[in-house]
Structure 1
Amino acid sequence: MSGDGFTTCLWFDGQAEEAAHYYTSVFPDSALGSIVRHPEAGPGPTGEVMVVDFTIKGEKFVALNGGPQFTFSEAVSFQIHCDDQDEVDYYWDRLTADGGEEGPCGWLKDRYGLSWQVVPKVLLEMMGDPDGARVERVSQVLFTMKRLHIAELEKAFNG
């Protein structure tokens, strides 16, 4: 079998083009692709945006104006693995701006209700450490945070 990999389809209620522009402005190495409008035959109003293709860091997405029937939930989220605190802060600030919501343990919802996890790469290394006491200390601090702070996590890890 062959194929072109996966494309993530995000369902919006009239905000597909706006969202695609937003996401490509937040993430470096992103690009807006084609915009497909409803033809006279429908299913939506002629000329209105039906789907927008875009890429974020090489990953393919389609924003679909599907209507109000479905909304995003925390059951699906996207992880952003960050190299340092500046990168954590960059994504956290941009994705919580203009109606986004902070959540626990590095989770947030953006203005469209899409869930993201802004995770420092070093946290993944800490949580995989074979020393259970270190992992426990990091976990205790992690569970008190919204935006993750690498220095505080490292302090807990090192005792």
Structure 2
Amino acid sequence: MSDKLTTVMWFDGAAEEAARFYAEIFPDSAVGEIHYAPSDFPSGKRGDAITVEFTVLGRRFSGLNGGPMFTPNESVSFMVVTEDQAETDRYWDAIIGNGGQESACGWCKDRWGYSWQITPRTMLDALSAGGDEARRAFEVMMTMTKLDVAAIDAARQGS
């Protein structure tokens, strides 16, 4: 794993909790080092966790307990490509079932406000195919919250 690029996610004191949640639901994920503040800081005290190193699906992240000044928004999201409905359901249900929110077209937010796109590979394949297949799959996707693999596959085939 490269140490050249790490995505830093800003939290209001919940970086460790979030890292542990992500590590529980996604494969190839783990919580690494937790660094503690050597002195008081604007949103915490000496000894509080200040950063938490973790991986999600093999990608490196750092959770920063920076306080309430900044909050996540939909301009950045994490797309998780799934292979079937069971995997789609597992991730979607874990995020929504732990204080998250449903949105449209396979998007949801976790309890910390981060946006996730839980996207079955068949949807990406349909878009790559282009033409009527892409249009049909796109139109059916636009009616969904959690994506339905069978419905997308049926649309791809024109049924």
Report TM bin, short chain: over 0.9
Output the TM-score relative to the length of structure 1: 0.93
CA distance in structure 1 between the partners assigned to 2:19 and 2:134 by the alignment:
38
CA distance in structure 1 between the partners assigned to 2:80 and 2:92 by the alignment:
10
Paired residue type of 1:26? I
The equivalent residue for 1:156 is: 155
Where 1:87 maps in the other structure, the secondary structure is helix
The equivalent residue for 1:140 is: 139
Output the TM-score relative to the length of structure 2: 0.93
Large movers: runs of 4+ above 4 Å: none
The equivalent residue for 1:36 is: 35
Pair 1:103 & 2:100 matched: no
The equivalent residue for 1:113 is: 113
Paired residue type of 1:23? Y
CA distance in structure 1 between the partners assigned to 2:3 and 2:98 by the alignment:
35
Instruction: Confirm or deny: 8 A CA contact 2:13 2:67 kept in the other structure.
Output: yes
Q: Deviations for 1:97-154, whole angstroms, at most 9, x for unmatched residues? A: 1220011000000111100000011111111114x22221111111000100011011
Pair 1:88 & 2:88 matched: yes
Paired residue type of 1:90? R
Q: How many Å apart are 1:96 and its aligned residue?
A: 1.0
Percent of aligned positions that are identical:
45
State the number of aligned residues. 155
Q: Deviations for 1:20-72, whole angstroms, at most 9, x for unmatched residues? A: 111111111111111111113x3341111100001112211101100100000
Paired residue type of 1:34? E
CA distance in structure 2 between the partners assigned to 1:59 and 1:49 by the alignment:
21
Paired residue type of 1:63? G
Map of 1:13-32 to 2, 5 A cutoff? 13-32=12-31
CA distance in structure 1 between the partners assigned to 2:134 and 2:15 by the alignment:
41
Map of 1:39-58 to 2, 5 A cutoff? 39-40=38-39, 42-43=40-41, 44-58=44-58
RMSD: 1.2
Q: Deviations for 1:68-101, whole angstroms, at most 9, x for unmatched residues? A: 0000000000000001111000000001112200
Instruction: Confirm or deny: 8 A CA contact 2:88 2:120 kept in the other structure.
Output: yes
